[in-house]
Amino acid sequence: MTFAKPLALLVALLVPVASSAAELTIFAAASLKTALDEAAEVYQTETAVNLRLSYAGSSALARQISFGAPTDIFISANIGWMDHLEAEGLLVPDTRTDLLGNSLVLIAPKGQTAGDIPTLVQNAERIAMALVDAVPAGIYGKTALTDLNLWETAAPKVVQADNVRAALALVALGEAPLGVVYGTDALAEPKVTIVAQFPPHSHTAIRYPAALIDGRDTQEGRAFLTWLGQDAAKDIFSKHGFTPLRDE
């Protein structure tokens, strides 16, 4: 009696079939998570392209890319870290584009009333912010508070977090009575409320540039970047409070 054929059949059934679906790895600023997760779900359904999304502070992601982390697309929360990668020759030429805009706000736990920025900063015991010298939201926040002559008052109270979503969580959990985040972050968290908005002139314009990473120039990557500037994606980002900047 021979078991060769049944054994061969069993082995064939146990060996996984390789997937032919295309896959893209996206490094994106933490503040994009809610909107980009939704956009990615729509795109994957339409195209069958698998999107692997990795979120963190733009500074941390840019450093990972500099050190050779394999990613196809980077979406930063400010132009500075994208400039850094471009200067290192790590972007595919002519693929960089400003994708989105945002606003900067002060938040407090749900139920707090709005007020003027100087009074809110003066009265707060702690202020949650992303890293003020590295993460875009923290950099924008420090710039805005400095412009309003409030940084010396705020600085001793600042509790720094690794990224803007971590700062958001500190306020949502009641660990800090005040926080500086993007307007889109406040919309994504029902446990906080916007108590003031920073004037646009108090900080540089908030821009989210996107680009393909050197060595990962693919048809799938270019197609996804193009889609991010089209109406379906714009509608999703707008719903979450972003300002689409591309006109495709």
Residue positions forming the annotated binding site for molybdate: 31, 58, 137, 164, 182
Give Cβ neighbours of residue 223 (< 8 Å, ≥ 6 apart): 47, 49
Q: Please enumerate, as own/partner, the contacts of 182-185 that have beta carbons within 8 Å and a separation of 24 or more.
A: 182/31, 182/77, 182/102, 182/103, 182/104, 182/105, 182/137, 182/206, 182/241, 183/102, 183/103, 183/104, 183/105, 183/241, 184/31, 184/34, 184/35, 184/102, 184/103, 184/240, 184/241, 184/242, 185/31, 185/107
> With bands split at pLDDT 50, 70 and 90, how would you rate the model's confidence at 48?
confident
Domain spans of the chain, in order of start: 22-101+207-244, 104-202
Q: Do domains 22-101+207-244 and 104-202 have the same CATH topology?
A: yes
For 41, 94, 99, 234, the CA distances from 230, given in Å and listed in that order, are 15, 18, 11, 6
The pLDDT score that the predictor gives to residue 161 is 97
Q: How do residues 158-179 score in pLDDT, each as one tens digit?
A: 999 999 999 999 999 999 999 9
CATH architecture classification, 104-202: 3-Layer(aba) Sandwich (3.40)
State the average pLDDT for the chain. 92
Give Cβ neighbours of residue 56 (< 8 Å, ≥ 6 apart): 27, 29, 30, 162, 163
Q: How do residues 93-135 score in pLDDT, each as one tens digit?
A: 999 999 999 999 999 999 999 999 999 999 999 999 999 999 9
Residue positions forming the annotated binding site: 31, 58, 137, 164, 182
For 30, 63, 206, 208, 248, the CA distances from 203, given in Å and listed in that order, are 20, 24, 8, 15, 28
Q: How do residues 50-85 score in pLDDT, each as one tens digit?
A: 999 999 999 999 999 999 999 999 999 999 999 999
Q: How do residues 76-97 score in pLDDT, each as one tens digit?
A: 999 999 999 999 999 999 999 9
> Span 22-101+207-244: which CATH code?
3.40.190.10
